[in-house]
Amino acid sequence: MADQLIRATAADGGIRMVGVITTRLAEEARQRHKLSYVATAALGRTMTSGLLLASNMKRNEARVNLRFKGNGPLGGIMVDAGMDGTVRGYVDNPDVELPPNDRGKLDVGGAVGADGYLYVVRDVGYGYPYSSTVNLVSGEIGDDIAHYLVTSEQTPSALVVGVFVGESGVTASGGILLQVLPKAANDEQLVQLLESRMSSLSGFTPLLREGKTLPDIFEQLSGDLGLEILPEVQLVRFHCGCSFDRVLGALKMLGEVELQDMIEKDNGAEATCHFCGEIYQASSAELEQLIWDLQEEKKAEH
């Protein structure tokens, strides 16, 4: 199944659900950044969470940035996801590997570390981003995002994200976000029922690997509660907006002296995009052009 995001409602619009399949984009991230098993799971879960959080924003330009900063060996995780279905991200130490945890699962919590912060920046699309910070709960990503939703957005929410990585790479990845909207939030029976059903899901990837689709999973959660699956299927993908022009723009900001130094010492410049791993090379001639541009701009100022 192609990577995709589907929305649904239940209980007369009192429950909102979003499900996303991210198998291919998690595999693309693994290959681009040469991620270890545990790093693949950590970044894949974070990218999945980013897409789920971005999906309930209003404008197509809206974006969510998630930055995990734990005390584990993986270092930080950075993800940038958009309402438009694009996502990109990286981890500080992509080759960190840990033995499985006591449940025999990839030890994402150990790699990220349970001590630290999750920074969330939401840009609704008008250029005034707002940010919030919460303490990490376990470093397992899903728990931490759910904690953020409860403390910062005060919406009863449950979130399940998972990535299955085998020898041939990522074979199942995705997640589901369930939120109880204010009109249903006082219905304690309903909230409890949903909580127990979400926690009985036993992870997300086992369902995918059993061959279940997103509609099947929505059905399992709320088929008897007036489930309505919205017809629109949104495709999601790994995408980075970096380009050679942007790299040249960044190099130009270093200034004449630094650029001259790069020409003399390195005969050019090489820059790697953190987000996607793309390597850009600027030749001496291109750097000389930048110096020339800077000099022209200076003349124009006087």
Query: Interface with Zn ion by CB under 5 A: which residues?
Result: 240, 242, 273, 275-276, 278
113 close to 139: Cβ distance less than 8 angstroms: yes
In the bound state with Zn ion, the residue whose beta carbon lies nearer, of 228 and 278, is: 278
- In the chain, DSSP assigns E strands to 4-10, 15-21, 63-70, 76-82, 86-91, 116-123, 130-135, 157-166, 169-180, 228-235, 237-238, 268-272, 279-283
Task: Write down the least CB distance from residue 239 to Zn ion, Å.
Answer: 9
Task: Write down the least CB distance from residue 56 to Zn ion, Å.
Answer: 26
Task: Write down the least CB distance from residue 244 to Zn ion, Å.
Answer: 11
d(CA 41, CA 30): 9
Task: Write down the least CB distance from residue 250 to Zn ion, Å.
Answer: 12
In the bound state with Zn ion, the residue whose beta carbon lies nearer, of 82 and 109, is: 82
CA atoms within 13 A on the CB side of 192: 3
Q: What is the phi-psi region of residue 103: left when phi exceeds 0, alpha when psi lies from -120 to 50, beta otherwise?
A: alpha
In the bound state with Zn ion, the residue whose beta carbon lies nearer, of 169 and 277, is: 277
Task: Write down the least CB distance from residue 240 to Zn ion, Å.
Answer: 3
In the bound state with Zn ion, the residue whose beta carbon lies nearer, of 31 and 135, is: 31
In the bound state with Zn ion, the residue whose beta carbon lies nearer, of 202 and 243, is: 243
